[in-house]
Structure formats: structure tokens, C-alpha cells
Structure 1
Amino acid sequence: MAVLVWIAEGTWPACVDAARDHTPAGADVVLLHVTPVDVPGAAHGAFAGLLGRGHPERDPGTRVEHLAAASADRLLADAARRLGRPCTRQERTGRAEREVVAAAADADLLVLARDGDRTHLGPRSLGPASRFIVDHAPCPVLLVWPETAPTTTPPPPPPHPR
């Protein structure tokens, strides 16, 4: 069984715990982190547009890229340690929702956490990225709450027939 676990800031511990608790011990687990390209790109653009192109060694975009890579490495290492069993770590760069869906092409299960409004049950508990992933995943999805699910009253009644 091939299991892909989306490692995103703020929600990754719940995803790792779910993968550990709900998949067989012998599963091939891939921990995936996606670094967005927009932040380093904005820094590169600001430097080129505002400060000129004469000193590429001072381009802050390069520094931001290095910091993002180091942060991703630490996050993946922490996730692997929490998983407590052999796994593969994978880092991609791009739009998170697109990269996760592409990486799930060979997976038997995708584990991700709700990334929207986590104070209420319902569709708004999925942010735009997780909504896209759930809608386009080419494999079964295990969707987890990053913390305890909110308690609430029963769902609203169904609409009246016309």
C-alpha cells in the first residue's frame, strides 16, 4: 500500500498521526511538503524592479529560497520522527493543491487535514487548497481534523420539497 501524507505547516502532526494509526505497518509512506513559488518570486521581482539588476548577489529572493528549503527539511524531518517508521520524504515546489494531486497519482491513499475554518463542521472547514485536492484526488482520501473536531448541534434539516 502506497500512502501519501501532505505535510503542511500547522496541520501536519494530525496527518502523520492518522497515517501511523490507520495504515498497515508495512505501507510505503511518502511525506510530501510543497513550497510555494510565489514568495521567493515576489522577493526576486521586488529586488529587480525596485533595486535594479546590478548586484544579483544581494537578491533577497535567493535567501528566501534557501530559508524555505531549510524550513521544509526541518518540517519533513520532524514529521518522519513523529511517524516513527520508515518513510520517504519528498519536497516539491509549486502550487500546493496541484502538486499534491500530481503526487497522489501513484498513491493508494492520500492523508490530509482540514485547512479552513476549524471552528465549525461543514464545507467551510476545507480551505481552497484542500477543497481542490479532495475534489481532484485520483485515490481515496483520509481527511482529518488537525485538532479535536468541534462539537455542534445536529446539521440543519433538509430543504422542504417543492
Structure 2
Amino acid sequence: MRVTAWIGPGTWPAVIDALRDHHRADQITLLAAADDSEVVPPGVERALMGRGRRRPPRDFARMARQQAEDLLTRASARLRTGPDGDTIESGTMIVTGVAERAITRAVEDADWLVMARDGDRTRLGPRSLGRAARFVLDHAPCTVELIWSSQTPGISTIPPPPQ
């Protein structure tokens, strides 16, 4: 079985902990997205720099890739040094472009995808998924294991039915 884990900021430790359940997989790949479109929104650099000033260097793609590499390094180390003492090896992959589409393409050959909820984690409901996670969940061509990256909210957090 080929298992891929989506490693994202803020949720990756829980994904790695859930991934340990799949340590007998034939292949484990840790996947991170270097989505430079989300580093600095369009137009913000001009607003921050004011008129007539030099524009900042366009290193957004490099910054996004560095962040993805850092996440994968930390995630690989956490997976390798699991609490049970077993050494779990994994490969890594960085995808570029719009995150949700790049991740969906990257799991085309996977059998299982482990990912975390990345939206509002204080209550149950559809807002517990961010835009990218919702897209991947709806379009992934494999089995998806969706986890909570923190304590699961109680059933009392479900919104009331519509009027």
C-alpha cells in the first residue's frame, strides 16, 4: 500500500502521529506544497512599501519552497523517531503551484492519503475544513483519512438546523 501524508503548517504533528498507524505500508511519502501564491497576496507589497520606493525582491517562490523543506525535515524526523522505537522510513515530495490542485495531482498514484482539518477546529461542521483541504477531500483519487489536529470538539458544537 502506498500512503501519502499531506504535511501542512500547524497540522503536521497530528498527521505524523496518525501516519504511524500505517507504518507497515509499502511506501510512505510526506508531501508538502510550496504555494507561493499564498506567501504575499497580490498588491500587498505595493501597499506596504508605499509609492516611489523600491519593490522588494520577488523571492516568494524560494520562501515557499524553503518553508515546505523545513516542514518536511521536521516531519521526517518525528516519523523516524516514533514513540514505539521502530524506525519508519519515508520519502518526501514538494509540489508547486496552487496547493489544492498540486496535491490532488500528486496523490494520483497513492492508495491512501492522510490529511488534517485545517479550518475552524473549535467546532464540528464544514468550516473545520479550509478551502484547500475541502478541494483535496472532494477530488482525491484515493482513500482519504481525515483527522483532527487537536482535541475533537464535542457534539454540542454542531450548529443548529436552519430555520
State how 1:71-86 maps to structure 2 within 5 Å. 71-84=67-80, 85-86=88-89
1:113 aligns with 2:109: no
1:61 aligns with 2:64: no
- Aligned match of 2:96: 93
1:13 aligns with 2:10: no
> How many pairs are equivalent?
149
Alignment identity in percent?
A: 44
- Offset at residue 154 of structure 1 (A): 8.4
Equivalent residues of 2:95, 2:106 under 8 A apart: no
Counterpart of 1:144 (choices 143, 147, 154) is 147
Q: What letter corresponds to residue 9 of structure 1 in structure 2?
A: P
Uncovered stretches (5+) of structure 2, i.e. residues with no partner? 81-87
- TM-score normalized by the length of structure 1: 0.79
- Offset at residue 158 of structure 1 (A): 8.3
Q: Distance in 1 between matches of 2:140 and 2:90?
A: 21
- Offset at residue 31 of structure 1 (A): 0.6
The higher radius of gyration belongs to: 1
Q: Normalized per residue, which structure has more helix?
A: 1
SS at match of 1:110: strand
Q: Which moved more, 1:145-154 or 1:11-20?
A: 145-154
Uncovered stretches (5+) of structure 1, i.e. residues with no partner? none
Q: Which moved more, 1:27-36 or 1:105-114?
A: 27-36
Q: Distance in 2 between matches of 1:68 and 1:102?
A: 19
Please, what is the CA RMSD of the aligned residues? 2.8
Q: Distance in 2 between matches of 1:34 and 1:112?
A: 13
- TM-score normalized by the length of structure 2: 0.79
